[in-house]
Chains A and B, each alone.
Chain A
Amino acid sequence: MTVLDDLGPYVPGMLLLGGGALLATLLGAMVPGLQPLVVAVALGVAVANTAGTPAVAEPGVSLHKLALETGIVLLGAAIAIEELVAAGPTVIGLVVVVVAGGLLLSEAIARGVFRIEGTTPSLLAAGASVCGVSAVVAVGRVLEARGAALTYAAATVLLFDAVTLVAFPLAGEWLGLTGRQFGVWAGLSMFSTGPVAAAGFAHSVEAGQWATVTKLARNSLLGGVAIAYSVAYAARSATDPEARELWAEFPKFLLGFLLVAAIANGGFLSPAAIESITATSDGLFLVAFVGLGLSIRVRELRAVGLAPVGAVFVHLLVVSGLTLAAVRTLL
């Protein structure tokens, strides 16, 4: 057994992702105004919902999440820390208010207005307020939610990921937002990390960077939210150490992003190296977005019930409306 044997099963899927990324780049270069990242998602959706992903390509295609997170780590090289520090307190303040307020709002809407019971409102609230499906899974694990509730909540989040991925860049263009305003708005309002980054970069490079950074700040609250839910439901084991639970839920790639940002801003990288690392990050995003598209199954999204969709829709309208007003005023 050699390392090449280890890689063998991943090759077909990696070729599929790479081929999709190449095709998206070519189409983006041929048609003015067409964003390669958006084309990459569209190509993935088209393949997944027509021919389907070949079984032999599944292991390689599953690497798209790793590609996204590695792309985010490398994005650190393109981030100007001075700019972040200047806007940091405002953005962090907005993130904390949006996550805490969003959780309470979502719970109130789902339970009070749409009469959804059990753990589903909490799963929907976590997915919509923190970081999409990963938050649904993390909070679901803490609350020992049933498989059906998890599937329902995850499918609802995925449905909104697909819709907002198209709607937000259009709205940003129509509203005439600056790159920073749009990026922070998308980072505060949309759900999963991949679609947030894709929507941001579909607007502009600046928006993509701000969207990713804002979303990472939201993601970093997942551990705390999971702990808060476990305490609220009194489902947590008394012997389970809090710090370990927090650490288990913490997205570790965020540390990589900060480390690479520190290396780049510390002057250790040459301009050519920063340019090359940023290009590598862009390439990884393209590959990740083909995989993101391949994971969207229109048929599965149609099966989502009306009540969760209604609850999340109201949440999204209120949160995106308030955050839009906030970014226009504060940034």
Chain B
Amino acid sequence: MTDENGDGSGGVEGTRLARRWQALDRGWQALLLGLAVVAVHLVIQPF
């Protein structure tokens, strides 16, 4: 139940995308993932 910031930030290895992702605060990661899910729904299930 620890709530410290930054998830999956075990190291700085990986692709540039992974390094950029790991450098983000966990709150930003959650915000981006959530908005991505909403964006996908806007495209695949429009009015």
| A273 touches which of B1, B2, B27, B41 (Cβ 8 Å) | B41
> How many residues on the A side are at the interface (Cβ–Cβ under 8 A)?
53
Q: Is A142 interfacial (CB-CB < 8 Å)?
A: no
Interface positions, chain A 54-89, Cβ under 8 Å from B, are 59, 62-63, 65-66, 69-70, 72-74, 76-77
Q: Is A256 interfacial (CB-CB < 8 Å)?
A: yes
Q: Which residues of B contact A2 (CB under 8 A)?
A: 15
Q: Which residues of B contact A263 (CB under 8 A)?
A: 38
Q: Is A49 interfacial (CB-CB < 8 Å)?
A: no
Chain A window 1-40, contacts with chain B (Cβ cutoff 8 Å), 1 for yes, 0 for no: 1110110011000000000000000000000000000000
Decide: A66 and B45 in contact? CB cutoff 8 A.
Answer: no
Whether A277 contacts B27 in the complex (CB less than 8 A), given A59-B8, A133-B3, comes out as no
A68 to chain B: closest residue by CB: B30
> How many residues on the B side are at the interface (Cβ–Cβ under 8 A)?
30
Whether A251 contacts B1 in the complex (CB less than 8 A), given A62-B7, A74-B34, comes out as no
Separation of A2 and B38 alpha carbons in the complex (Å): 26
Q: List the interface of chain B (C-beta within 8 A of A).
A: 1-4, 7-8, 10, 13-15, 17-18, 25-35, 37-38, 41-42, 45-47
Task: Give the interface centre of B13, B25, B37 by most chain A CB atoms within 10 Å.
Answer: B37
13 A-B residue pairs with CB within 8 Å: A63-B7, A73-B35, A131-B3, A132-B1, A134-B4, A137-B2, A158-B1, A252-B25, A253-B30, A260-B38, A269-B42, A273-B42, A296-B1
Separation of A177 and B28 alpha carbons in the complex (Å): 35
Separation of A10 and B31 alpha carbons in the complex (Å): 20
Task: Give the interface centre of B2, B35, B42, B45 by most chain A CB atoms within 10 Å.
Answer: B2
Other A-B pairs, 17, CB within 8 Å; known A70-B34, A70-B37, A256-B27: A1-B15, A2-B15, A6-B14, A6-B15, A62-B8, A73-B30, A76-B34, A161-B1, A193-B3, A251-B27, A252-B25, A259-B35, A260-B35, A269-B45, A270-B47, A272-B45, A276-B41
Task: Give the interface centre of B15, B31, B38 by most chain A CB atoms within 10 Å.
Answer: B38
* Chain A to chain B: the 6 pairs with minimum beta-carbon distance, closest first: A73-B34, A252-B27, A134-B3, A256-B31, A69-B30, A253-B30
Separation of A66 and B5 alpha carbons in the complex (Å): 9
Separation of A173 and B35 alpha carbons in the complex (Å): 35
| A195 touches which of B1, B2, B29 (Cβ 8 Å) | B1
Q: List the interface of chain A (C-beta within 8 A of B).
A: 1-3, 5-6, 9-10, 59, 62-63, 65-66, 69-70, 72-74, 76-77, 131-134, 137, 154, 158, 161, 192-195, 250-257, 259-260, 263, 268-270, 272-273, 276-277, 280, 292, 295-296
Decide: B15 and A73 in contact? CB cutoff 8 A.
Answer: no
User: Closest CB-CB distance, B2 to chain A, in whole Å?
Assistant: 5
